[in-house]
Amino acid sequence: MSDGFKLSIVVPCYNEEEVLHETTKELTAILHGLIADQKITPTSKIVFVDDGSKDKTWQLIDTFSKENEVVSGVKLSRNFGHQGALLAGVTTASKDSDAVITIDADLQDDVNAIPKMVDEYLNGSEVVYGVRNNRDTDTAFKRSTAEMFYKFMGFLGVKLVPDSADYRLMSQRACKVLLSYKERNLFLRGIVPLVGFKSSKVYYARKERFAGVSKYPLKKMLKFAIDGITSFSIVPIKMIMGLGFFIVLISIVLLIYSLVQKVNGNVVDGWSSLMISIWALGGVQLISISVIGEYVGKIFSEVKQRPRFTIEEDIYTEKTQQENKR
């Protein structure tokens, strides 16, 4: 493989004008280094995916693509969310790339792990996960909730790679299998392990965000976790059934206890126990309906089969076509 293989680095962007200069600089240096080592071809690309940004993100991508031969971009017609933008980039780049790496634009994931991923690919791995070797940059709350999430997903039978996000390398074959999964409720961290093929891990230290603000506040993180749970397991519904049987068992025990107390003449006013029972059962019922409603809502969005993303402009394909004509 002396001539190397074509690599595309997909970078989803949403209002990232503050960090794009540095991201482009660092990723360009990585690509040029790999090209010089003849591990990848000179036609390898950085593919920025503008996910409906409201700032100057797309203008910067367009400018960089004209000034830098390895930079290209894809502009989505509106905001489709981080997972949708990732999928749009993978769909576009995997058509003619031998391998695709996905990484966020904020530079928290160490770009120096990319050469290690490339080496793993050259050694036969078709999926290479970027895995954090520590969570020192996270708050205690985020560390503990992340640990609980991975443990809970494992309890539900969902195979995830702990401490890995959406920083990974996938071969063209692995990308094609990934794209054959047609669900609209995207949770790529759960879908990618289902792809199979030989996989490996590359460990790195996660950094502080270079600039700008996180696009995943607590509210979005909770929604992301709920999507992950309900998209890959029906265990919560089974747990509701178990909870229902448990409450029925408790009610039978209380009924027997009440009859015994009545026979013994120890009947007392039951206002407190009655109110507690009503509120407790009401809460359980509302939670149960909400969980079931979450699944029904996902079915509703899946059966409509709306596009998972819509591309407005595609600099990557234009550049690739021009290079092929030379």
- 82-93 and 172-179 helices, crossing angle to 10°: 130
State residue 284's pLDDT score.
Answer: 74
From the CB of residue 285, how many other CB atoms can be counted at a distance below 10 Å?
13
What confidence tier does 219 reach under pLDDT thresholds 50, 70, 90? low
Tokens of 39: 């591990």
Q: Report the run of H or E that residue 239 belongs to, with start and end.
A: helix 235-263
Burial of 56 (0-12, 13-18, 19+ CB in 10 A): middle
Q: How far are the Cα atoms of 43, 93, 95, 318, 325 from residue 321, in angstroms, in the given order?
A: 11, 13, 12, 5, 6
Strands of the sheet containing 164-171, edge to edge, are 199-204, 127-132, 164-171, 99-102, 7-13, 45-50, 71-76, 311-314
Q: Where are the domains of the chain?
A: 7-140+163-221+311-325, 235-304
**CATH superfamily of this structure's domain 7-140+163-221+311-325:** Spore Coat Polysaccharide Biosynthesis Protein SpsA; Chain A (3.90.550.10)
What confidence tier does 189 reach under pLDDT thresholds 50, 70, 90? confident
* 0.75 exceeded by pTM: no
**222-230: average pLDDT:** 63
If DSSP codes are grouped into helix, strand and coil, which group holds residue 46?
A: strand
State residue 99's pLDDT score.
Answer: 94
* β partners of residue 131: 164, 203
pLDDT digits (tens, 9 = 90+) for 246-292: 776 776 676 676 667 666 666 566 655 665 677 667 767 777 777 77
Backbone angles phi, psi at 316, to 5 degrees: -60, -50
CA distance 172 to 291: 37
Higher pLDDT among residues 4 and 269, named by residue? 4
Q: What angle do CA 208, 211, 213 make, to 5 degrees?
A: 90
Least confident of 74-83, 225-234, 253-262: 225-234
State residue 1's pLDDT score.
Answer: 41
CA distance 110 to 140: 22
- 131's CB contacts (< 8 A; 6+ apart) are 161, 162, 163, 164, 201, 202, 203, 204
State residue 160's pLDDT score.
Answer: 73
What confidence tier does 25 reach under pLDDT thresholds 50, 70, 90? very high
Q: How far are the Cα atoms of 250, 252, 268, 304, 325 from residue 260, in angstroms, in the given order?
A: 15, 12, 13, 56, 90
- Is pLDDT of 220 > 70? no
- Is pLDDT of 215 > 70? no
Instruction: Quote the strand ranges of the chain, DSSP E.
Output: 7-13, 45-50, 71-76, 99-102, 127-132, 164-171, 199-204, 311-314
